[in-house]
Amino acid sequence: MSYQLDFIETMVRAGVLKFGNFVTKSGRQSPYFINTGEFKTGAQIGKLGEFYAACIADKIEKGELAKDIDVIFGPAYKGIPLAVSTAIALARDYGINAGYCFNRKETKDHGEGGNLVGAKLKDGDKVIVIDDVITAGTAIREAIPIITGTANVEIAGLVISVDRMERGQGAVSAVEEVRRDLGIKVFPIVTVQDILSELDGREIDGALILTAECKASLIQYMAKYC
């Protein structure tokens, strides 16, 4: 079983991936919803880190990411457990002992001060940013000045859980806008097309997750927005 299929099934079992009628942050009526915040037990967040690590290792093997990654960065707040669990999985499963750090929402003005917690960024570091789902790219756009304002680092890539493949502010997808505007490679664990392909006709724990009605709604939605 590929890690992508395993990830999709894990999202379904954890209630992270749901089908129905939802309003997204962009105001669109969506037939599916993804909330990685539903990974809320130790076992679940540990497994989630393994999926991010598997994606990173896969891209390294394919030559799309350099192996000498120094720091895994998670934007506050959802990105914090993602960065920590990914760093643990990378060290344990792939021998990549990267540091991790995350930002505070408010700069600390006492003690050591600053607005970053964890590994100290230094000039020349290669940084991978970990996030959940890109809707408008707000979190990554806010994070980049924080990271690059601390040290002269290289943002090696952005790894996200799911690429919804939806248009952003213009004609291209939000992910493509991040690539274009920020010059950052974006690597999703899976795309919405992967979800459609893998769940089509597949039962999980004896239940058909993507019914004919849900499939039709998803295809219609993708034709309109993707």
pLDDT of residue 115: 82
pLDDT of residue 111: 47
**226 and 173 Cβ atoms separated by less than 8 Å:** yes
pLDDT at 109 over 60: no
Q: 59-63, 113-117, 122-126, 131-135: which range is least confident on average?
A: 113-117
**55 and 122 Cβ atoms separated by less than 8 Å:** no
Who has greater pLDDT, 219 or 136? 219
Three-state DSSP class for 67? Answer: coil
- DSSP annotation of 121 reads P
Maximum mean pLDDT: which of 53-57, 104-108, 209-213: 53-57
Q: Is 108 a catalytic residue?
A: yes
Q: Is 215 a catalytic residue?
A: no
Six token digits for residue 199: 């769940």
Give strand ranges (E) for 75-125. Answer: 99-108, 114-118
Q: Which residues make beta-bridge pairs with 207?
A: 204
Mean pLDDT in the chain?
90
Catalytic site residue from 25, 62, 105, 110: 110
Catalytic site residue from 67, 108, 122, 224: 108
Fold of 3-225: Rossmann fold (3.40.50)
Mean pLDDT of 119-123: 94
**182 and 141 Cβ atoms separated by less than 8 Å:** yes
pLDDT of residue 137: 73
Q: What percentage of residues in the chain have a pLDDT greater than 90?
A: 69
Q: What is the pLDDT of residues 144-169, one digit of tens each?
A: 998 999 999 999 999 999 999 988 77
